């Protein structure tokens, strides 16, 4: 169907709330965009990174002579070559004053601490020549004991992951509501409790697996360097590169062209970015590094990987009394940009939507000889949501209560907002009951419950279960004040500028850097409404530190609620400035002017109007300007929110479980989210779908698995299972709207909600299907084997065998996964 | 080096290539057809999908020498005379893309599916694009896009132009009809 | 990744191909659809000196009727097998299994012969060939032909009876006389994937009983296997759910499956039983 645009003569409808199709699509559906790996510069050299095939070893010797002589190779560098200038990959979030940071060289100098760590880099005239030479670098490793299991790593006399630190613990962070004055004494509550339920949940290690592999191009020009990188955070990257390598900040320009997804995985300052800059500096030539997928899976940071020990206290009537969480969080081998902060972002969300009088959270950050972990969609909040939504189901079982009834009894009522939780956060707005009612309808709850009963009675081999997740999350990172109190290294503001061009067109510069979220469209809608200019007349610029010098980029569902708010505020300033000019031109008092639909009109004087676009031209000419006013109506704004925003919603999953094989299949999925004011329903719906897919994938498909030697055996897309269209259900989605009071748009973030909410709904549904068979937990991902074992052998399904599957004769090789051992080499133990 | 002649998006090219050069690298690096991208090294993701003599293939799993004498269509060759292919338009209309990295391959695979099965069911669409991974969209809007394109291409839907390409030189950004406006 | 360098030969006849293989040096690889070989070369698990591409050997392509058998050329693509009327008529099991192989792009190039010569224990087609008692026609140096029964073709993990200098020309699928039913039951975690375990069942019914059953197992050991114990138990068994279920319990006898990310050996053996029951039930038309 072809849509015809509204004729311009009628008063324009408000843009906010319209399902505008996206501006950015034009270049993406035609193959006419710029991915970093598309860049070609004259004289450009190609880099290939030589990576460690062992998880923990001293580097005895690196022999690069053969590689240096290989055809097309210009130079080969090892860690020693850059030891003086490479510094350490920065960690911007020391979550405790005594946090241990072992330091993270971009290229290993003396020791390697995980498979895939860089040990040398080759610069060659072609990509093929660089890759060919990788095999010629000969490294001698003196192997050291490998630390992989977190519980073992924190036990007495554990082997050490780094031998220059005293233990495998990086930090121990505690939040205690009693001590903080936001709740009562947790220990007392547990001592007095009628019912206590305790569980150990495992948040498996995940890989963000953005579809565009990472790539970096660096161009040296004199003492200036321009870096193109497929990053979520060009501004943070520029600052950190300056600090790490000593390159003056004003000599660095970072550009994030179109970026093919990030999901937190490109919220990083990577070793490869530092290496590329150092090589470009050293050789004075443009360089490009573009990773392969197997390189990406093993060396780009991973996510989640926590063990959660959760205790919940309640009375027999089902009133929750206290929550105690002890978390082990796997940092991997090193601390990257915000590794330690990830579990802490969840620290305040374990209480979920419930009115707990008491709450205590303890988290230990643990080193292991694995790829470092860091942000992955939701970052800390999916872990918290999973824990609380799972334990609520367990408590319901213990109390023999309906899981929804238990939730209802304890959640915050719609009339109780704003509500301060035991974790000390002030939830802004919402109606949990309303969202739940709508979700039940979307699912067709009563019918499915009936079918479940029938299947149970007839002992059907395929059982049905229904699972809930009534969640909230905190997003819109973040009030700078709060980040400061949590020792985060930066603020949480966002910046915007609006430039009024002489022809009346508008340039909006935003500091948040999009990679699929549709900023160009949504920001245009915001500005069109604020300035009363046509949507088409707005151009949104982002992702280049020269064009958009101030910004804190895109993550934590912050773009609209912080960055969009900055845009709205900048627009208000433009209008205020234009008002002065309009008053002058219309020879009226400012107070008599009314601004609507893009024009200033003099109240009571029909026909006396000036459009803001006319004023833009008048400002350009500046021939007739008010005395003492500078000839510009452009404006900047920086928005620092006073609070987070708290989207919420109810997700319901109906799941079929084949009890004979353990195979699970989502029968139906319905969710109702409240994300405050919706600027663009089309984009919001897309964000929900994408988040659901990733949350469901955590529940059912994805896991980064290491074998006993520390090889990543899910090292390709053959074994790291990103679901396809055929593996996911149709989603029924709905919305309620309770505007966020904390920003001028009223929006709450939507980027992570689907991912945060869905995982526990799916697992709860599977458990609900087989609970009557004696199953009380199944570890994620719910592989058919685990489900089958849980049903037929008890327990949570246990560990998976670690050998890669035998596709391609076992795609695990020295190049993809590290050392070929009996368990990993051939594909399958045989 | 082996000499090959390949017609890509309507233009004939004659080049010397190393036998080990993958078709996708030939397209991207030698011919500058960077609209087609690479997302994996195990032939799983489908990001590199092009049409080789009219049939969708993963161009990372074809050697450039194998394409000698063949006709290749990439995402860049779909729009004709400035008008989008109905599949491109449908992806835009249905918000079937977010970051857009999987999109070229997704569109090429979807067109191939409709060539064989002009009116697929939802399940057939989902299975028809099982060789293409998307990390952003959760696929639902991609399925919707393929349904729209199927309707459009088989002429069952009201359209201003005949089968094939719809006349829309630039993408329009009018509100999508299928998503309700925000309730308050 | 990019494959290591190699020399490339593109013959147009079987004789030229055999010659090219003979001349190709120590480490020569035949390439059919390349859908297994190219990924393996990209990962540099294989780095052949010479690649002999059969893509232009047209005589290796297509399906023909040969009286008591249908003959599928080694270079017939998965896609062409899927739409072939002879296959649909005489060996629907092959089409059913082929439909589950990979995805449409891979099926457009991957070949029937390549999938069999690759002998991946997780490949879908070897067990099917085994269950259908297929015969493999092999050409050797100088053009000599020999025929290898399916039972002898799959020798070990990724290893077939194909000797040095030999290539697979075509596969004969004997036509079945009588009232036969077939079904391929594949178990995966995600759609576009090799099976964790799969069962190919070919069943002849006579007077309400199962007269004969041939059962091929995928991924239950280093080679595809026949579930001989279950076949024996099924011969003469009542064509009822209980009769089939009882016989299927012996489906995993004599298997030695591997343990990997998707399944440990004991679970694979369990799956073999369940899937055999389901496959035979469907094949028997119940
Ligand atoms: C993403 C993906 C998913 C897949 N999923 C599945 C699946 O679910 N099930 C499944 O069964 N397969 C699957 N495959 C494999 C696919 O079926 C391959 O096409 C097939 O296994 C190999 O066929 P080919 O023609 O591509 O052979 P090639 O890759 O060209 O060759 C494979 C091997 O056979 C040898 N060979 C080929 N032809 C001959 C011949 N005529 N004579 C002698 N030797 C020969 C080659 O030397 C090579 O060693 C998948 C592949 C991919 C890329
Ligand atoms: S790049 Fe070709 S399938 Fe992934
Ligand atoms: S739109 Fe980003 S991967 Fe599909």
Whether residue B40 and residue A716 make contact (CB cut-off 8 A), yes or no, is: yes
Helix (H, G, I), strand (E, B) or coil at A89: coil
User: What's the B107 CA to ligand 2 centre distance in angstroms?
Assistant: 14
In Å, what is the CA distance from B33 to each residue of B16, B70, B72, C155, C167?
17, 16, 11, 44, 37
Report the alpha-carbon distance of residue B48 to residue B37 in Å, rounded. 5
pLDDT, position A6? 42
Ligand 1 atom index nearest CA of B44: 1
Report the alpha-carbon distance of residue C184 to residue C126 in Å, rounded. 12
- Pocket probe for ligand 3: among B38, B110, B136, the residue whose CB has the most ligand atoms within 8 Å is B136
Domain with residue A570: its CATH number is 3.30.365.10
Residues A420-436, mean pLDDT to the nearest whole number: 96
Q: How confident is the model at residue C1 (pLDDT cuts 50, 70, 90)?
A: confident
- Residue numbers in C near B22 (CB within 8 A): 2-3, 38, 42
Q: Give domain limits for chain C.
A: 1-175, 180-283
pLDDT, position B158? 42
pLDDT, position A824? 36
pLDDT, position B98? 97
User: What's the C32 CA to ligand 1 centre distance in angstroms?
Assistant: 7
> What confidence tens digit (pLDDT) does each residue in C95-136 have?
999 999 999 999 999 999 999 999 999 999 999 999 999 999
> Within a 10 A sphere around the Cβ of C8, how many other Cβ atoms?
18
Find, in chain C, the residue whose alpha carbon is nearest to that of B41: C1
Q: Which of A84, A86, A93, A89 minimizes the C-alpha distance to A102?
A: A89
Find, in chain A, the residue whose alpha carbon is nearest to that of B41: A293
Pair C131, C93: CB distance under 8 Å: yes
Pair B45, A211: CB distance under 8 Å: yes
What order do you get walking across the sheet with A57-63 strand by strand?
A: A111-112, A57-63, A138-143
Report the alpha-carbon distance of residue A801 to residue A818 in Å, rounded. 17
C123 touches ligand 1 (CB under 6 Å) = yes
For domain B78-176, give the CATH number: 1.10.150.120
pLDDT, position A478? 83
Backbone torsion region of residue B94, taken as left when φ is above 0, otherwise alpha when ψ lies between -120 and 50, otherwise beta: alpha
User: What's the A524 CA to ligand 2 centre distance in angstroms?
Assistant: 34
pLDDT, position C150? 97
Residues A757-767, mean pLDDT to the nearest whole number: 98
pLDDT, position B160? 36
pLDDT, position A12? 61
Pair B34, B24: CB distance under 8 Å: no
Half-sphere exposure of A821 (CA within 13 A, CB side): 19
**Where does A473-613 show beta strands of DSSP type E?**
494-500, 506-510, 538-541, 593-596, 599-602, 609-611
Report the alpha-carbon distance of residue A418 to residue A412 in Å, rounded. 10
> What confidence tens digit (pLDDT) does each residue in A767-811 have?
999 999 999 999 999 999 999 999 999 999 999 999 988 776 554
Cβ-based contacts under 8 A for chains B and C: 86
Q: Give domain limits for chain B.
A: 2-75, 78-176
Mean of all residue pLDDT scores within chain A: 94
Helix (H, G, I), strand (E, B) or coil at C238: strand
Domain C180-283 superfamily per CATH: CO dehydrogenase flavoprotein, C-terminal domain (3.30.390.50)
Helix (H, G, I), strand (E, B) or coil at A57: strand
Residues A519-532, mean pLDDT to the nearest whole number: 94
Interface probe for A, chosen from B46, B99, B161, B184 (most Cβ of A below 10 Å), is B99
Could you tell me if residue A218 is inside a domain? no
Q: Which two tokens stand for residue A86?
A: 């490479």
Report the alpha-carbon distance of residue A583 to residue A601 in Å, rounded. 9
Q: Which residue has the higher pLDDT, A514 or A47?
A: A47
Q: How confident is the model at residue A513 (pLDDT cuts 50, 70, 90)?
A: confident
Pair A720, A209: CB distance under 8 Å: yes
For residue A418, whether the previous peptide bond is cis, meaning omega lies within 30 degrees of 0, is: yes
Based on the structure, what is the number of domains in chain A? Answer: 1
Would the pLDDT of C239 be above 50? yes
> What confidence tens digit (pLDDT) does each residue in C4-55 have?
999 999 999 999 999 999 999 889 999 999 999 999 999 988 999 999 999 9
Report the alpha-carbon distance of residue A758 to residue A468 in Å, rounded. 9
pLDDT, position A810? 56
Q: Of all residues in chain A, what percent carry a pLDDT higher than 70?
A: 96
Report the alpha-carbon distance of residue A670 to residue A730 in Å, rounded. 9
Pair A359, A350: CB distance under 8 Å: yes
pTM of the model: 0.95
C32 touches ligand 1 (CB under 6 Å) = yes
Query: Domain B2-75 belongs to what topology?
Result: Ubiquitin-like (UB roll) (3.10.20)
pLDDT, position B17? 97
Whether residue B100 and residue A28 make contact (CB cut-off 8 A), yes or no, is: yes
> What confidence tens digit (pLDDT) does each residue in A226-236 have?
999 999 999 99
> What confidence tens digit (pLDDT) does each residue in A438-493 have?
999 999 999 999 999 999 999 999 999 999 999 999 988 889 999 999 999 889 99
Pair C36, C118: CB distance under 8 Å: yes
- Residue numbers in C near A714 (CB within 8 A): 261
For residue A445, whether the previous peptide bond is cis, meaning omega lies within 30 degrees of 0, is: no
Name the architecture of domain C1-175.
2-Layer Sandwich (3.30)
Answer yes or no: is the ipTM higher than 0.95. Answer: yes
Could you tell me if residue A560 is inside a domain? yes
Question: Could you tell me the residue range of the domain that residue A536 belongs to?
Answer: 25-33+493-639
DSSP A730-773: -EEEEEE----TTSTT-B---TTHHHHHHHHHHHHHHHHHHGGG
Could you tell me if residue A814 is inside a domain? no
**Where does A435-592 show beta strands of DSSP type E?**
462-472, 494-500, 506-510, 538-541
Would the pLDDT of A11 be above 50? yes
| Segment (H or E) for C31 | strand C28-31
Q: Which of the residues in chain B have pLDDT under 50? A: 157-169, 180-184
Q: Which two tokens stand for residue A547?
A: 């064009």
Pair A131, A111: CB distance under 8 Å: no
> Within a 10 A sphere around the Cβ of A63, how many other Cβ atoms?
14
Query: At CA C281, angle to CA C280 and CA C282, rounded to 5?
Result: 90
Q: Which residue has the higher pLDDT, A817 or A62?
A: A62
Backbone dihedral angles phi then psi of residue B85, each to the nearest 5 degrees? -70, 145
Mean of all residue pLDDT scores within chain C: 96
Would the pLDDT of A830 be above 50? no
Whether residue A693 and residue B40 make contact (CB cut-off 8 A), yes or no, is: no
Pair A627, A740: CB distance under 8 Å: no
Q: Which ligand is nearest to the CA of B99?
A: 3
- Residue numbers in C near A132 (CB within 8 A): 4-5
pLDDT, position A809? 58
Find, in chain A, the residue whose alpha carbon is nearest to that of B128: A726
pLDDT, position A828? 38
For residue B3, whether the previous peptide bond is cis, meaning omega lies within 30 degrees of 0, is: no
């Amino acid at each position: 169907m072809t849509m015809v645009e509204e004729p311009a003569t009628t008063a324009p409808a408000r843009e906010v709330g319209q399902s505008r199709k996206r501006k950015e699509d034009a270049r993406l559906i035609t193959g006419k965009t710029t991915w970093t790996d598309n860049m070609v510069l004259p004289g450009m050299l190609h880099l290939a990174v030589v990576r460690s095939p062992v998880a923990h070893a001293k580097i005895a010797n690196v022999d690069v002579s053969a590689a240096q002589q290989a055809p097309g190779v210009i130079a080969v560098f090892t860690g020693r070559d850059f030891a003086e200038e490479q510094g350490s990959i920065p960690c911007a979030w020391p979550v405790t004053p005594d946090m241990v940071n072992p330091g993270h060289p971009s290229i290993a100098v003396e020791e390697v601490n995980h498979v895939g760590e860089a040990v040398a880099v080759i610069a060659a005239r072609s990509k093929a020549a660089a890759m060919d030479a990788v095999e010629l670098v000969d490294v001698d490793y003196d192997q050291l004991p490998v630390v992989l299991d977190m519980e073992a790593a924190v036990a007495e006399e554990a082997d050490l992951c780094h031998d220059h630190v005293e233990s495998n613990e990086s930090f121990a962070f505690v939040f205690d509501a009693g001590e903080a004055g936001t709740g009562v004494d947790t220990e007392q509550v547990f001592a007095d409790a009628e019912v206590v339920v305790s569980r150990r949940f495992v948040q498996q290690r995940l890989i963000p697996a953005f579809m565009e592999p990472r790539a970096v191009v660096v161009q040296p020009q004199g003492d200036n360097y321009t870096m193109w990188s497929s990053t979520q955070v060009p501004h943070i990257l520029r600052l950190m590169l300056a600090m790490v390598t000593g390159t003056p900040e004003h000599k660095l320009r970072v550009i994030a062209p179109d970026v093919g997804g990030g999901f937190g995985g490109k919220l990083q300052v990577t070793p490869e970015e530092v290496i590329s800059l150092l090589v470009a500096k050293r050789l004075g030539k443009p360089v490009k590094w573009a990773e392969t997928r197997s390189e990406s899976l093993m060396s780009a940071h991973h996510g989640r990987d926590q063990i959660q020990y959760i205790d919940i206290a309640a009375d027999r009537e089902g009133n929750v009394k206290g929550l105690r969480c002890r978390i082990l969080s796997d940092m991997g081998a090193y601390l990257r940009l915000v590794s330690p902060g990830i579990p802490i972002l969840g620290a305040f969300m374990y209480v979920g939507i419930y009115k707990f009088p008491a709450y205590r959270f303890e988290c230990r950050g643990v080193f292991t000889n694995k790829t470092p972990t860091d942000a992955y969609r939701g970052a800390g909040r999916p872990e918290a949501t999973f824990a609380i939504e799972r334990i609520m189901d367990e408590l319901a079982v213990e109390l023999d209560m309906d899981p929804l009834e238990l939730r209802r009894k304890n959640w915050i009522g719609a009339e109780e907002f704003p509500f301060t939780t035991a974790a000390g956060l002030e939830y802004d707005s919402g109606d949990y009951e309303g969202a739940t009612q709508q979700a039940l309808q979307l699912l067709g709850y009563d019918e499915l419950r009936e079918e479940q009963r029938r299947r149970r009675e007839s002992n059907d081999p395929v059982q049905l279960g229904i699972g809930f997740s009534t969640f909230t999350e905190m997003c819109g990172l973040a009030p700078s004040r709060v980040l400061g109190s949590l020792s985060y290294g930066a603020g949480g503001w966002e910046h915007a500028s609006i430039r009024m061009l002489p022809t009346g067109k508008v340039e909006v510069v935003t500091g948040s850097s999009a990679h699929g979220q549709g900023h160009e469209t949504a920001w245009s809608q915001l500005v069109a409404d604020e300035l009363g200019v046509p949507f088409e007349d707005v151009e949104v610029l982002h992702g280049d530190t020269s064009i958009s010098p101030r910004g804190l980029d895109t993550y934590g569902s912050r773009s609209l609620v912080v960055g969009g708010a900055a845009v709205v505020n900048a627009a208000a300033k433009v209008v205020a400035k234009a008002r002065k000019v309009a008053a002058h031109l219309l020879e009226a008092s400012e107070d008599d002017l009314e601004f609507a639909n893009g024009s200033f009109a003099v109240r009571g004087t029909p026909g006396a109007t000036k459009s803001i676009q006319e004023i833009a031209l008048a400002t350009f000419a500046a021939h007739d300007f008010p005395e003492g006013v500078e000839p510009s109506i452009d404006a900047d704004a920086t928005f620092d929110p006073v609070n987070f925003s708290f989207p919420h919603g109810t997700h319901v999953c109906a799941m079929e479980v084949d009890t004979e094989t353990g195979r699970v299949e989502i029968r139906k999925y319905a969710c109702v989210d409240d994300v405050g004011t919706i600027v663009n329903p089309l984009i919001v719906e897309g964000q929900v779908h994408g988040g659901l897919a990733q949350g469901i994938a955590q529940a059912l498909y994805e896991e980064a698995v290491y074998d006993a030697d520390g090889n990543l055996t899910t090292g390709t897309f053959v074994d790291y299972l990103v679901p396809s269209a055929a593996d996911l259900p149709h989603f029924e989605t709905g919305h309620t709207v309770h505007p966020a009071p904390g920003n001028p748009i009223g929006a709450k973030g939507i980027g992570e909600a689907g991912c945060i909410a869905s995982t526990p709904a799916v697992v709860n549904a599977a458990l609900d299907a087989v609970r009557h068979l004696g199953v009380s937990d199944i570890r994620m991902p719910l592989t058919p084997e685990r489900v089958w074992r849980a049903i037929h052998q008890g327990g949570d399904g246990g560990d998976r065998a670690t050998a890669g599957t035998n596709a391609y004769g076992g795609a695990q090789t020295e190049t993809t996964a590290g050392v070929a051992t009996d368990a990993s080499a051939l594909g399958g133990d045989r | 080096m082996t000499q090959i002649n390949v017609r890509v998006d309507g233009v004939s090219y004659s080049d010397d290539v190393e036998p080990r050069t993958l078709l996708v690298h030939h397209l991207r690096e030698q011919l500058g057809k960077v609209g087609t991208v690479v997302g994996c090294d195990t032939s799983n993701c489908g990001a590199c999908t092009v049409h080789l003599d009219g049939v969708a293939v993963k161009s990372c799993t074809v050697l450039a020498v194998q394409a000698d004498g063949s006709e290749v269509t990439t995402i860049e060759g779909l729009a004709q005379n400035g008008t989008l292919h109905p599949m491109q338009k449908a992806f835009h209309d249905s918000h079937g893309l977010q970051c857009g990295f999987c999109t070229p391959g997704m569109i090429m695979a979807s067109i191939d599916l409709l060539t064989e099965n002009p009116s697929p069911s939802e399940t057939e669409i989902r299975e028809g694009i099982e060789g293409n991974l998307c990390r952003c969209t959760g696929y639902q809007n991609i399925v919707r896009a393929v349904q729209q394109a199927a309707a459009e291409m088989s002429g069952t839907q009201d359209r201003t132009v005949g089968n094939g390409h719809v006349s829309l030189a630039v993408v329009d950004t009018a509100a999508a009809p299928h998503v309700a406006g925000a309730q308050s | 990744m990019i494959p290591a360098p190699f020399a490339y030969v593109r013959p147009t006849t079987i004789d030229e191909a055999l010659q090219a293989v003979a001349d190709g040096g120590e480490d020569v690889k035949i390439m059919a659809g390349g859908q297994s070989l190219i990924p393996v070369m990209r990962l540099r698990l294989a780095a052949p000196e010479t690649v002999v591409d059969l893509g232009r050997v047209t005589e290796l392509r297509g399906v023909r009727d040969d009286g008591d058998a249908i003959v599928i050329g080694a270079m017939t693509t998965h896609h062409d097998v899927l739409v072939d009327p002879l296959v649909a008529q005489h060996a629907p099991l092959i089409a059913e299994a082929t439909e589950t192989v990979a995805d449409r792009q891979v099926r457009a190039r991957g070949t029937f012969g390549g999938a069999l010569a690759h002998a991946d224990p997780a490949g879908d087609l070897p067990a099917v060939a085994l269950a259908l008692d297929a015969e493999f026609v092999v050409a050797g140096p100088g053009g000599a032909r020999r025929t290898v029964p399916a039972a002898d073709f799959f020798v070990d993990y990724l290893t077939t009876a194909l000797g040095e200098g030999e290539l697979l020309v075509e596969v004969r699928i004997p036509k079945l006389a009588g009232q036969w039913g077939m079904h391929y039951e594949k178990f995966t975690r995600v759609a576009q994937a090799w099976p964790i375990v799969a069962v190919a069942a070919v069943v002849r019914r006579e007077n309400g009983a199962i007269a004969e059953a041939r059962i091929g197992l995928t991924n239950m050991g280093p080679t595809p296997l026949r579930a001989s114990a279950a076949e024996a138990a099924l011969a003469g068994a009542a064509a009822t759910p209980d009769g089939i279920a009882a016989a299927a319990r012996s489906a995993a006898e004599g298997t030695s499956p591997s343990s990997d990310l998707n399944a440990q050996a004991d679970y694979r053996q369990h799956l073999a039983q369940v899937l055999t029951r389901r496959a035979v039930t469907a094949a028997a038309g119940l």
